[in-house]
Amino acid sequence: MIQQSPLSPEQKQENKIISGIRITVEHAIAGIKRLGCMTALLNKSELADRMTPSATPVILS
C-alpha cells in the first residue's frame, strides 16, 4: 500500500461531514430492516412482477 500524505484540515472537515450523513442514513436503513416495514411491500412487488407479463418479447428458435 502506498503511504499518502496526511489529510489537510479541509479534507478532515469534509470527511467529518460525510461521515455524519452516512451514519444517519445507515441508522435509518437499519431501523427499517429491524422493523420489517419493507418486507411486505417487497414481497407484494415481487409477486406482482411475477404475475405481470414481461415487456420483453420471447423469441422462439
Alpha-carbon distances, residue 52 vs 2, 40, 59 (angstroms): 52, 18, 18
**Cα separation of 22 and 15, whole Å?**
10
Tell me the domain boundaries of the chain: 9-50
Give the rounded distance of the alpha carbon of 44 from its chain centre. 20
Helix axes 37-51, 9-35, angle to 10 degrees: 70
Grid coordinates given for 51:
404475475
**Cα separation of 58 and 61, whole Å?**
10
Residue by residue, pLDDT tens for the chain (61 residues) are 576 889 999 999 999 999 999 999 999 989 888 877 677 777 766 656 665 655 555 565 5
